[in-house]
Amino acid sequence: MFELVKEPDPILKQKAENWDFNQHINAAVIEKEMLETMRANNGIGLAGNQVGLLRRVFVMKLQDGREIGCFNPYIMYGDNDLDEGDEGCLSFPNLWLKVKRSPKITAAYIDNTGKQCIIELEGIDARCFQHELDHLDGITFTEYVSNLKLNMARKKQRKLNG
Protein backbone atom coordinates (compact mmCIF):
# COMPACT_ATOMS: atom_id res chain seq x y z
CA MET A 1 0.00 0.00 0.00
CA PHE A 2 1.12 3.56 -0.72
CA GLU A 3 1.24 6.63 1.50
CA LEU A 4 -1.41 9.16 0.40
CA VAL A 5 -0.05 12.54 -0.75
CA LYS A 6 -2.07 15.51 0.54
CA GLU A 7 -2.16 19.21 -0.27
CA PRO A 8 -0.08 21.37 -0.37
CA ASP A 9 2.47 18.81 -1.68
CA PRO A 10 3.81 20.22 -4.99
CA ILE A 11 3.66 16.79 -6.71
CA LEU A 12 -0.11 17.33 -7.00
CA LYS A 13 0.60 20.20 -9.42
CA GLN A 14 3.10 18.24 -11.54
CA LYS A 15 2.34 16.61 -14.87
CA ALA A 16 2.86 12.85 -14.94
CA GLU A 17 4.90 11.10 -17.62
CA ASN A 18 3.60 8.25 -19.78
CA TRP A 19 3.74 4.74 -18.38
CA ASP A 20 6.29 2.66 -20.26
CA PHE A 21 5.39 -1.04 -20.04
CA ASN A 22 8.92 -2.03 -21.14
CA GLN A 23 10.71 0.09 -18.57
CA HIS A 24 8.59 0.55 -15.47
CA ILE A 25 7.95 -1.97 -12.72
CA ASN A 26 5.09 -4.42 -12.94
CA ALA A 27 1.87 -2.59 -13.81
CA ALA A 28 -0.29 -5.19 -12.02
CA VAL A 29 1.61 -4.63 -8.75
CA ILE A 30 1.22 -0.84 -9.01
CA GLU A 31 -2.49 -1.22 -9.80
CA LYS A 32 -3.02 -3.58 -6.85
CA GLU A 33 -1.24 -1.26 -4.38
CA MET A 34 -3.07 1.80 -5.68
CA LEU A 35 -6.43 0.02 -5.35
CA GLU A 36 -5.55 -1.00 -1.78
CA THR A 37 -4.66 2.62 -0.97
CA MET A 38 -7.88 3.90 -2.59
CA ARG A 39 -10.02 1.39 -0.64
CA ALA A 40 -8.21 2.07 2.67
CA ASN A 41 -9.04 5.78 2.26
CA ASN A 42 -12.67 5.17 1.17
CA GLY A 43 -12.14 6.66 -2.27
CA ILE A 44 -13.53 5.89 -5.71
CA GLY A 45 -10.45 7.07 -7.61
CA LEU A 46 -6.74 7.61 -7.08
CA ALA A 47 -4.11 9.00 -9.44
CA GLY A 48 -0.39 8.26 -9.57
CA ASN A 49 0.74 11.63 -8.26
CA GLN A 50 -1.54 11.18 -5.22
CA VAL A 51 0.79 8.37 -4.14
CA GLY A 52 4.03 10.07 -5.20
CA LEU A 53 4.22 8.33 -8.58
CA LEU A 54 4.61 10.74 -11.50
CA ARG A 55 3.39 8.27 -14.11
CA ARG A 56 0.15 8.38 -16.12
CA VAL A 57 -1.82 5.82 -14.14
CA PHE A 58 -4.95 5.97 -12.02
CA VAL A 59 -7.37 3.50 -10.51
CA MET A 60 -11.09 3.86 -10.02
CA LYS A 61 -14.11 1.97 -8.77
CA LEU A 62 -16.99 2.00 -11.22
CA GLN A 63 -20.61 2.20 -10.09
CA ASP A 64 -21.14 -1.42 -11.20
CA GLY A 65 -18.50 -2.48 -8.65
CA ARG A 66 -15.64 -3.18 -11.07
CA GLU A 67 -12.26 -1.69 -10.23
CA ILE A 68 -10.01 -0.67 -13.10
CA GLY A 69 -6.45 0.51 -13.49
CA CYS A 70 -5.99 3.00 -16.32
CA PHE A 71 -2.49 3.42 -17.76
CA ASN A 72 -1.86 6.30 -20.22
CA PRO A 73 -5.58 7.22 -20.22
CA TYR A 74 -7.19 9.85 -22.41
CA ILE A 75 -10.64 11.06 -23.40
CA MET A 76 -11.67 10.37 -26.99
CA TYR A 77 -15.02 12.16 -26.79
CA GLY A 78 -16.83 14.18 -24.17
CA ASP A 79 -20.33 15.64 -24.10
CA ASN A 80 -20.08 19.44 -24.44
CA ASP A 81 -23.14 20.04 -22.24
CA LEU A 82 -21.49 20.18 -18.82
CA ASP A 83 -23.14 19.06 -15.58
CA GLU A 84 -22.30 20.59 -12.21
CA GLY A 85 -21.79 18.10 -9.41
CA ASP A 86 -20.17 17.68 -6.00
CA GLU A 87 -16.58 16.50 -5.93
CA GLY A 88 -14.16 15.64 -3.20
CA CYS A 89 -10.59 14.40 -3.31
CA LEU A 90 -8.55 12.10 -1.08
CA SER A 91 -5.66 14.58 -1.24
CA PHE A 92 -7.94 17.38 0.03
CA PRO A 93 -9.71 15.81 3.05
CA ASN A 94 -13.24 17.12 3.69
CA LEU A 95 -13.09 19.69 0.88
CA TRP A 96 -16.21 19.57 -1.30
CA LEU A 97 -16.69 21.68 -4.42
CA LYS A 98 -19.24 21.92 -7.21
CA VAL A 99 -17.39 21.27 -10.48
CA LYS A 100 -18.69 21.31 -14.06
CA ARG A 101 -17.74 18.24 -16.10
CA SER A 102 -18.91 16.33 -19.13
CA PRO A 103 -21.71 13.94 -18.03
CA LYS A 104 -20.81 11.33 -20.65
CA ILE A 105 -17.41 10.44 -22.11
CA THR A 106 -15.76 7.85 -24.29
CA ALA A 107 -12.29 7.15 -22.94
CA ALA A 108 -9.30 4.97 -23.77
CA TYR A 109 -6.59 3.50 -21.59
CA ILE A 110 -4.23 0.56 -21.41
CA ASP A 111 -4.91 -2.09 -18.76
CA ASN A 112 -2.23 -3.69 -16.58
CA THR A 113 -1.54 -6.38 -19.21
CA GLY A 114 -0.82 -3.81 -21.93
CA LYS A 115 -4.19 -4.24 -23.68
CA GLN A 116 -5.85 -1.16 -25.21
CA CYS A 117 -9.35 -0.58 -23.76
CA ILE A 118 -12.16 1.76 -24.77
CA ILE A 119 -14.91 2.51 -22.28
CA GLU A 120 -18.06 4.63 -22.27
CA LEU A 121 -18.75 6.28 -18.93
CA GLU A 122 -21.51 8.50 -17.62
CA GLY A 123 -22.54 10.16 -14.38
CA ILE A 124 -20.21 9.67 -11.42
CA ASP A 125 -17.98 7.29 -13.42
CA ALA A 126 -17.39 9.94 -16.11
CA ARG A 127 -16.80 12.58 -13.41
CA CYS A 128 -14.29 10.37 -11.60
CA PHE A 129 -12.36 9.55 -14.81
CA GLN A 130 -12.07 13.27 -15.66
CA HIS A 131 -11.03 14.17 -12.09
CA GLU A 132 -8.27 11.53 -12.04
CA LEU A 133 -7.11 12.42 -15.55
CA ASP A 134 -6.79 16.06 -14.41
CA HIS A 135 -4.50 14.89 -11.58
CA LEU A 136 -2.16 13.35 -14.16
CA ASP A 137 -1.98 16.75 -15.86
CA GLY A 138 -1.18 18.50 -12.57
CA ILE A 139 -4.67 20.00 -12.33
CA THR A 140 -6.64 19.77 -9.09
CA PHE A 141 -10.40 20.25 -8.73
CA THR A 142 -9.79 23.45 -6.76
CA GLU A 143 -8.84 25.14 -10.05
CA TYR A 144 -12.42 24.85 -11.37
CA VAL A 145 -14.02 27.22 -8.86
CA SER A 146 -13.72 30.90 -8.04
CA ASN A 147 -11.59 32.06 -5.11
CA LEU A 148 -14.78 33.06 -3.29
CA LYS A 149 -16.32 29.58 -3.61
CA LEU A 150 -13.00 27.94 -2.71
CA ASN A 151 -12.61 30.12 0.40
CA MET A 152 -16.16 29.29 1.53
CA ALA A 153 -15.49 25.57 1.04
CA ARG A 154 -12.17 25.87 2.90
CA LYS A 155 -14.01 27.35 5.88
CA LYS A 156 -16.29 24.30 6.00
CA GLN A 157 -13.25 22.05 5.53
CA ARG A 158 -11.49 23.57 8.55
CA LYS A 159 -14.55 22.92 10.70
CA LEU A 160 -14.80 19.31 9.53
CA ASN A 161 -11.07 18.72 10.02
CA GLY A 162 -11.25 20.20 13.52
Q: Which residues, at least 6 apart from 159, have a Cβ–Cβ distance to it below 8 Å?
A: none
Read off φ and ψ for residue 158, nearest 5 degrees: -60, -40
Would residue 132 show up in a list of annotated catalytic residues for this protein? yes
Q: How far from each other are the two terminal CA atoms of the chain, in whole angstroms?
A: 27
Whole-number Å distance between alpha carbons of 152 and 162: 16
Contacts of residue 105, defined as CB under 8 A and 6 or more positions apart, other chains included, come to: 75, 76, 77, 78, 79, 120, 121, 122, 126, 129, 130
Catalytic residue among 17, 87, 120, 132: 132
Give the span between the Cα atoms of 102 and 62, in whole angstroms: 16
Residues belonging to the active site: 132
